[in-house]
Structure formats: C-alpha cells, structure tokens
Chains A and B, each alone.
Chain A
Amino acid sequence: MATKQQHIDLVYQNLKRVAPGFKPERQLVEHSMGKAWSQILHNAFRKDLSFLDFYVKDYKDQAVSQDADTKQYYIDLPVAIAQLPDKSEGVRAVLRGDADYSTPAYTSTQYVPVSDTTMEQMDSLDCMNAESGVVGYAVRYDKIMFDRKMTAILAAKKVHLKLVVPFDVYDATENIPVPSGQGENLVMMTIQFLMGSNQQQQ
C-alpha cells in the first residue's frame, strides 16, 4: 500500500511522460485524484458494500448532542464522509461508545441505518416499540440524526463511528487503500481529470 504523497508523486512522474511541461499545482492533483478514487470505490463496491470494511477509519468517543428545539439526538460528523450508494453512505457502522468486545453482549444496543423519511413513517409502527436496544439513524452530509429510541443514558455513553472518508481527508503520510488491480487506473483517471482541466485553462 502506498501513502497519499507517493500516489501524488506517481502522477507527477507519469505527467512528465504523457504531457511534458504540464506541472499542475499539488492541490489540483490531490483534488483530481480524490475524484478518481471516489469513482473507483463507487464502481468497485456498488454491488456489495460489505467489502468496504477494509476502507473504514475509526472515530471513537464521539459526543452525542441534543437539539434544543426538537429534542432529537444527533452527532456532528468529525470529518467529511464518502458518498456511497446506500442509506448509510460513508457511515459504515455506529457502535456504542462503551462497547466491550470481550463480552458476548457487546452488541446489546444496535444502531441501524434508516432514511429520514423512513424514520418519520415508522414512528408509530410496532417496530419502534417491540424491541429494546435498536436505535435508527439517518445520515446527512455533516450529521447523523437518531430516532426517538436514543436516550440520554445511551447518549452519555457516546458512540464509536466507522467511516469511509474521502481522499482529501487522509494526511500525506497516511496509506491510502485502493481496490486491488485499480492502482494503474487511479493514476490514469487522475491524469485524465487533470488534462481535462488543463484543456479548459488553455
């Protein structure tokens, strides 16, 4: 696996051969590579998002807040998330902040993804009352909203988020996972995006 900086360096090296004299700013290369990486991820996993676990980053001890007017519990996402083709988008899991994996009951509270519309529809249904320890959440671009099963006690325990984050959230020294066999494609797609912007500039 290569770091973000190594991926970017590889693009510059290839550009020397493909488009001599064209030396775009690093920020533009990073942005283009981010677009290419998102597209590759989307194409690779649109049929089975369960393989995305490999791309997840952990964000522990995330505080849960409560809206003063609506009393709805929510979390401000600590970073931007990748957009993926299902309800939970880049939020691959929400777990209890105090989950202890050494005990069999660490999953005693389950957070399950629902859409905002579904949350409203299911409010009066039996599924909201029949089981304890099931809390629905809806993902927005910068927030996670919880249904009314979220309690002050659960909120106080905070949550552990497993997020798939966009390319630009990674530090230059961090390893970037790329779907197997797509490394070459990542560089070529990035160059295509850059050449497109280069033609527009000219």
Chain B
Amino acid sequence: MAELSGQKTLKQVVDELLFMTGQPKDNFMRYLQLAIRGFKEANILHLKGFAKVTKLTVSDIKTITLPDDYQSFVGVVVPINGEYWALSEKETLVFSQSGLTLDADDGEGVDIKDSYFFEYISSGGVNKEGYFKLEEKNNRIIINSVTAGSEVMLIYVSSGINEAGTNTYVPDRIIPMLHSYILYKDAMYHGQQYQYYQDEYHRELDKVKYIEMPGLSAFRDALYQTFNPLPKR
C-alpha cells in the first residue's frame, strides 16, 4: 500500500480537528477561516519554500503590478549568470504625477545616473541593474533604470491559498501547529482562558521553526563565501 500523502487539504485539516476534539460540524466554516489565517501567517513568518518567483513586464510608465496572491515582498531581481541579482530599494525615486505618463522635464522616470564624479575621494556607488520603490497602496512597484517593456522577476510570499475554488494543500508537518492556532484563536475570540492554548501554539510553532531552520551545510557555505584564495598569515 502506498504511503499516506504528505500534503493535506485545508478541508482535511479542519475535519481532523473536529474529529479529534469531538466538536460538531457547526464550527467547520469558522475553523476553516481560522486555518486559512494561520496558514497565511505561517507562510509570511515561518515557512520556507512558499516564496514565489514570477516574471513581470515593466510598463510604459515603468511599473510592475503586484500579483493577486501577493502577501509580502521579498525582492525585485534580474537573472545574471545563474543567480538572481537584486535591484535596490530607493524611496527617493521620482514618479509620474499624473500616474499615466512620465514627464522627463520634471525628472519623472529618469534613470538614476551611473555616478556623480567630483574627485577621487568621492564615496558611493550605483546598482547598475536598477532600483525600485514599493507602492502597495496602488498595488504596484515603481522601477527605475530598467527599460519599459523588458522583464524583471518579482520574488514574493504568496498567500498560498488557491482562490479559484480548487483545493488548497498544506504540508502535513505543520498541521499540529495549525490545529493549535485554531484552538488558541477560537478561545481568544470567545473570551475564554486562552493562555493554555497560546502556550500550546507556541510549543507547536517551535517545532515547525526547528524543522525550517537552515542546515549545517548552509551555515558552512555562508562562512566559505567569506574566504578568498590569498595566502593567509
């Protein structure tokens, strides 16, 4: 017989909780909403492997539109030699006042200059791949020093929830954490003594964090990256 699936639907997560606690089906929809909230929170804060990369075309006014499942920002990047190179965030970018066109006379959308050279003691540098400014209120990111019509990659944390009415799958390893999250929030919203459930949630969360921690090889690689081949004294 095949092994049981390592992925479960949110429906199964809630069914399992109702079954184990002997609660009636009346609570199903409320618990499903709490499970979704808990899963979103875990995606943003605790789980690896839920960041998504999507290719987006820079518009005529040098913006990219955030995807529907966007939850939080990781980076705007371009691929160079098999690795993503990140654009730098700059709050001072000049953007279109009209929101429709760019007026170069007012400095709108003008590429940041490669460098200002006064004398050899001048400090500073530029990111030759470009800059961006996050503008979540308008559901977009302003891009600079990248030609309109070209493509950049957006790395972001997805909600992880399939909104098209299909099933949403969650890893089996986080289900005890989701169950304790549901019970903790349920007790809290009902004005019950929730301290016990809160503690239980944090115990389960610690287990998930432990699993998601970088391995020894990742720490070793980070250390090796600081080495160079020069003779050591």
Contacts and interface: CB of A to CB of B under 8 A. Distances in A.
A162 B174 CA distance: 35
A49 B68 CA distance: 42
B28 A132 contact: no
Contact of A86 (B15, B24, B166): B24
Contacts of B22: 48, 50
A87 B28 CA distance: 12
A43 B25 CA distance: 20
A132 B32 contact: no
Contacts of B29: 112, 114, 118, 122, 127, 134, 136
Contacts of A131: 9-11, 32, 167-168
Interface string B16-53: 00000010111011101100100000000000000000
Contact of A132 (B24, B26, B36, B166): B166
Contacts of A38: none
Interface stretch (B157-165, B204-212, B224-232): B157-165
A33 to B, nearest CB: 28
A134 B24 contact: no
Categorize the interface residue count of chain A: 20 to 34
Contacts of B30: 118
B21 to A, nearest CB: 12
Given A50-B22, A125-B33, A130 B28 contact: no
A161 to B, nearest CB: 14
Contact of B24 (A50, A114, A118, A122): A50
Nearest to A48: B22
B167 A132 contact: yes
B25 A113 contact: yes
Contacts of A118: 29-30
Nearest to B168: A130
Contacts of A126: 33, 36, 161, 163
Interface of B: 9-11, 15, 22, 24-26, 28-30, 32-33, 36, 161-168
22 contacts: A49-B24, A50-B24, A87-B26, A110-B11, A112-B25, A112-B28, A113-B25, A113-B28, A118-B30, A122-B33, A126-B33, A126-B161, A129-B161, A129-B163, A129-B165, A130-B32, A130-B36, A130-B168, A131-B10, A133-B167, A134-B11, A134-B29
